[in-house]
């Protein structure tokens, strides 16, 4: 187990290193006029050069890269071009918002996906099964920005027009400022995200439940006279959840860098929106920092999934 | 009596036993799937709409980029709702939404098909190479797959497009470049087990080289999962393209494309419901049709998966 962990960690670090190289190469090959933007239209070439020098942009790319890696290893991802705020601070400010969004949505989509999946598997080919499959495919097909806009239209605009001020137009209210407002601001983004992702879980749970319910030990449990609901939940669902847990880890890791659209539609200043702003301003340190952080989230999530897998399914450990 | 006669008949004229390949069997199953066939019909309609987009322009008399600032906008400069002249209403610049939806279908389908084709081609070749050749090739490719799958795709895609400037080529390349890894991983996994099978050994003992075995003997055996994945990838690609457009990184204006139309409608959704509704519906119907069809293809090609 220890050896397996060390090897996985080594792989993870290698992947992260390759990503820094790739991201650096991509953005430094492209022409950048950020110094010009910072200096303003009227600036003399000398001012622009001075700014370039201050930002370290006059160094060769490989030297900039070495600086970046050296600092990153010391936990410093650089400073943003415009206000000299440490990138780690920027990430630290945005992260709670993205995590609130991702975790809340995760609770919803797990409940929805697993519940629907179990219902479908218990009555395969029934009307309920077909209905639920269609329901989940319908939302799976929704582009996330469209679903977000529709939710805003009906649940914010229409309701507010009708005199019900239940949902805000967007924005974020931190948990420290009151759980009620936090919940109110996040409910629509949660629903938007959860409806999209639940489909995968419905399908996964359904398939895995169908496999498990065909096993001998389920028949044994039934023949012992155990109540059907108990057979399904305790005996069936418990072992059917392994692939669901795997998928969950992967999805959660990817959400850190993948909620760009939901954050944009609902004006949540999380990592995704911060990155988009940085991209529009060519604020390279922030872009690279967030991309790297989001990639690290995926890598860590994948390692955790492998470990969880080994615990959930003892057969995996033998290999 | 009749039974005896029938038996004699059978003996006399044995029915020719048709060889049915799994592919043919899958197609038969697919043809019986009503939902999949309806979805296919919808897809065909959308394709026809894209091909005959100029016909829409000719019938209505409104070119896709023509701005009717007089008859197409209200005196306050707002979009006009559906009426006799503009069947699905107009957008913020007084352009005909119906005609622009028809032209927008071209962008969605073109990107959907081309980017998917590139993705699948790269994924299949690299997956085959990694799984079959093994050794250093596999190690390098497997790490590369890990890297691509760990990168936050949408973020990097946005960053790339903003650096290079939006265009059809860039969109297609960015999507293709970041999507091949999942295909490669599926193919690699299949090939890893296939290469130990006897028919590979048989081919080798007949003197076949690596390339021949890979593409002639092994490739047909991984086609089923690849076909399933391909049909399910098209709607994903279409949504990705629309998302890039929505974020302002689609095709440069005035080209009509659905994501861009929905993005522009955002500021008007309280006053002009048709402006977001119709392009949104077009996009949703397209992805839904492809997903339902893809679902049918999956059931047809992997009968065990869903018919328990």
> Could you tell me the pTM of the whole model?
0.85
The pLDDT value recorded for residue B308 is 39
| Neighboring chain A residues of B291 at a CB cutoff of 8 Å | 137, 140-141
The complex's ipTM works out to 0.83
- The pLDDT, as a whole number, for residue B237 is 92
In this prediction, residue A309 carries a pLDDT of: 74
Domain residue ranges of chain A, discontinuous segments joined by +: 1-74, 92-312
Q: Is A107 on the interface with B (CB under 8 A)?
A: no
DSSP, residue by residue, chain B: -HHHHHHHHHHHSPPP-----HHHHHHHHHHH-HHHHHHHHHHHHHHHHHHTHHHHHHHHT--TT---TTTSB-TTSPBPPS-SSSTT-B-TTS-BHHHHHHHHHHHHHHHHHHHHHHHHHHHHHHHHHHHHH-HHHHHHHHHHHHHHHHS-HHHHHHHHHHHH---HHHHHHHHHHHHHHHHHHHHHHHHHHHTTSHHHHHHHHTT--HHHIIIIIIHHHHHHHHHHHHHHHHHHHHHHHHHHHHTT-SSPTTS--HHHHHHHHGGGTTT-HHHHHHHHHHHHHHHHHHHHHHHHHHHHH-HHHH--
For chain B, the C-alpha Rg in angstroms (whole number) is: 25
pLDDT at A194: 92
Q: What is the pLDDT of residue A59?
A: 75
The pLDDT score that the predictor gives to residue B13 is 59
Residue A59 DSSP code: S
Nearest CA in chain A to B284: A142
Per-residue pLDDT at A166: 80
pLDDT over 60 (residue A237): yes
Among residues B177, B176, B181, the alpha carbon closest in space to that of B123 is found at B181
Is the residue at B114 inside a domain?
A: yes
- Pick the closest to residue A129 from A121, A137, A140, A138 (CA basis): A121
B94 within some domain: yes
Three-state SS at A165 = coil
Distance from the Cα of B267 to chain A's closest Cα (Å) equals 11
pLDDT(A13) > 70: yes
pLDDT band, residue A242 (cuts 50/70/90): confident
Q: What are the Cα distances from residue A9, in Å, to A1, A6, A296, B121? A: 12, 5, 11, 31
CATH architecture designation of domain A92-312: Orthogonal Bundle (1.10)
Q: Which stretches of chain B score pLDDT less than 70?
A: 1-15, 303-308
* B308 domain-assigned: no
Cβ proximity of B305 and B299 under 8 Å: yes
Q: Which of A31-45, A199-213, B15-29, B61-75 is predicted most confidently?
A: A199-213
Report the C-alpha gap between B38 and B22 in whole angstroms. 23
> Can you tell me the distance from the alpha carbon of A230 to that of A236, in angstroms, rounded to the nearest whole number?
9
| B187 in Cβ contact with B128 (< 8 Å) | yes
In this structure, the number of other CB atoms found within 10 A of the CB of residue B201 comes to 12
Set of chain A residues whose Cβ sits within 8 Å of the Cβ of B274: none
pLDDT at A219 over 50: yes
Mean pLDDT score of chain A: 84
Over the stretch A251-297, which tens digit does the pLDDT of each residue have?
888 888 778 899 988 989 999 999 988 888 878 888 888 888 888 88
Q: Do A143 and B156 touch (CB under 8 A)?
A: no
- Cβ atoms B142, B130 nearer than 8 A: yes
Nearest Cα neighbor of A237 from A84, A143, A115 is A115
How confident is the model at residue B307, as a pLDDT?
43
The Cα angle at residue A143 between residues A287 and A202, in degrees rounded to 5: 105
Judging contacts by C-beta atoms under 8 Å, the chain A residues touching residue B263 are 145
Structural tokens at position A125: 């080919």
Is A256 touching B (CB cutoff 8 A)?
yes
Tokens of A58: 């006059």
In a domain, B75, yes or no: no
CATH of the domain at B266: 1.10.3720.10
* pLDDT value for A318: 46
- Long-range contacts at A272-279 (CB < 8 A, ≥ 24 apart): A272/A98, A272/B155, A273/A94, A274/A90, A274/A91, A274/A94, A275/B155, A275/B158, A275/B159, A276/B158, A276/B247, A278/A80, A279/B155, A279/B158, A279/B159, A279/B162
CB of A317 within 8 Å of a chain B CB? The answer is no
Domain membership of residue B78 (yes or no) is: no
Q: How far is CA B108 from the centre of its chain?
A: 9
Q: Report the number of distinct structural domains present in chain B.
A: 1
Q: Side-chain half-sphere of A111: how many Cα atoms within 13 Å?
A: 9
pLDDT for the residue B234: 93
Q: Which two tokens stand for residue B191?
A: 């090939």
B127, part of any domain: yes
Whole-angstrom distance, CA of residue A118 vs CA of residue A138? 19
Choice between A33 and B231, residue whose per-residue pLDDT is larger: B231
pLDDT tens per residue, range A53-86:
777 777 777 788 888 888 878 878 888 888 888 9
- Using omega within 30 degrees of 0 as the cis cutoff, is the peptide bond preceding B254 cis? yes
Band the pLDDT of A303: cuts 50, 70, 90: confident
Per-residue confidence (pLDDT) for residue A314, from 0 to 100? 63
B interface with A, Cβ–Cβ below 8 Å: 143, 146-147, 149-156, 158-160, 162-164, 235, 239, 242-243, 246-247, 259, 262-263, 266, 269-270, 273, 276, 280, 283-284, 287-288, 290-292, 295, 305-306, 308
pLDDT in tens, A144-167: 889 988 888 888 888 888 888 788
């Amino acid at each position: 187990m220890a050896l397996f962990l060390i090897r996985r960690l080594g792989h993870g670090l290698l992947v992260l290193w390759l990503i820094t190289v790739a991201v650096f190469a991509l953005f430094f090959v492209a022409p950048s006029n950020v110094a010009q933007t910072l200096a303003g239209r009227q600036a003399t070439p000398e001012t622009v050069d001075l700014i370039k020098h201050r930002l370290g942009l006059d160094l060769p790319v490989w030297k900039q890269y070495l600086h970046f890696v050296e600092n990153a290893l010391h936990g410093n991802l650089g400073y943003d071009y415009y206000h000299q705020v440490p990138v780690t601070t920027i990430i630290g400010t945005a992260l709670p918002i993205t995590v609130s969004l991702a975790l809340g949505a995760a609770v919803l989509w797990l409940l929805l996906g697993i519940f629907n999946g179990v219902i479908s598997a218990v009555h395969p080919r029934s009307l309920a099964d077909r209905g639920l499959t269609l329901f989940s495919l319908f939302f799976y097909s929704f582009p996330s920005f469209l679903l977000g806009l529709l939710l805003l239209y009906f649940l914010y605009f229409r309701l507010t027009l009708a005199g019900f001020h239940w949902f805000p137009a967007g924005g974020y209210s931190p948990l420290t400022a009151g759980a009620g407002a936090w919940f109110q601001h996040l409910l629509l983004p949660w629903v938007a995200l959860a409806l999209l992702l639940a489909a995968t879980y419905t399908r996964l749970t359904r398939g895995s439940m169908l496999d498990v319910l065909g096993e001998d030990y389920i028949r044994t449990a039934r023949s012992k006279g155990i109540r059907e609901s108990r057979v399904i939940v305790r005996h069936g669902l418990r072992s059917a959840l392994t692939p669901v847990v795997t998928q969950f880890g992967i999805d959660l890791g990817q959400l850190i860098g993948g909620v760009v659209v939901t954050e944009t539609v609902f004006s949540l200043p999380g990592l995704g929106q911060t990155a988009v702003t940085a991209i529009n301003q060519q604020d390279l340190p922030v872009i690279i920092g967030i991309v790297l952080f989001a990639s690290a989230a995926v890598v860590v999530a994948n390692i955790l999934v492998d470990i969880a897998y080994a615990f959930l399914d003892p057969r995996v450990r033998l290999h | 009596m009749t039974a005896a006669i029938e038996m004699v008949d059978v003996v006399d004229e044995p029915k020719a036993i048709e060889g049915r390949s799994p592919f043919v069997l899958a197609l038969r199953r697919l043809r019986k799937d009503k939902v999949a066939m309806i979805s296919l019909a919808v897809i065909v309609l959308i394709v026809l709409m894209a091909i005959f987009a100029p016909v829409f322009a000719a019938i209505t008399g409104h070119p896709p980029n023509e701005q009717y600032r007089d008859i197409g906008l209200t005196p306050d400069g707002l979009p006009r709702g559906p009426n006799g002249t503009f069947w699905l209403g107009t957008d913020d610049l007084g352009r005909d939404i119906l005609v622009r939806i028809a032209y927008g279908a071209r962008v969605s389908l073109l990107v959907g098909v081309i980017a998917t084709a590139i993705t699948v081609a790269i994924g299949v070749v690299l997956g085959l190479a990694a799984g079959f050749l093994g050794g250093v090739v596999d190690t390098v490719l497997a790490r590369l797959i890990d890297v691509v799958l760990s990168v936050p795709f949408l973020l990097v895609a946005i960053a790339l497009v903003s650096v290079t400037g939006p265009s059809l080529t860039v969109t297609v390349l960015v999507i293709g470049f970041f999507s091949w890894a999942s295909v490669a991983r599926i193919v690699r996994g299949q090939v890893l087990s296939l290469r130990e099978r006897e028919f590979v050994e048989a081919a080798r003992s007949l003197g076949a080289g690596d390339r021949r075995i890979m593409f002639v003997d092994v490739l047909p055996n991984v086609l089923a999962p690849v076909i399933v994945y391909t049909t399910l990838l098209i709607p994903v690609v279409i949504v990705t393209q629309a998302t890039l457009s929505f974020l302002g990184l689609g095709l440069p204006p005035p080209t009509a494309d659905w994501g861009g139309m929905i993005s522009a409608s955002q500021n008007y959704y309280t006053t002009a419901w048709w402006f977001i509704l119709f392009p949104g519906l077009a996009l949703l119907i397209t992805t839904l049709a492809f997903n339902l069809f893809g679902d049918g293809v999956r059931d047809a090609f992997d009968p065990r998966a869903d018919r328990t």
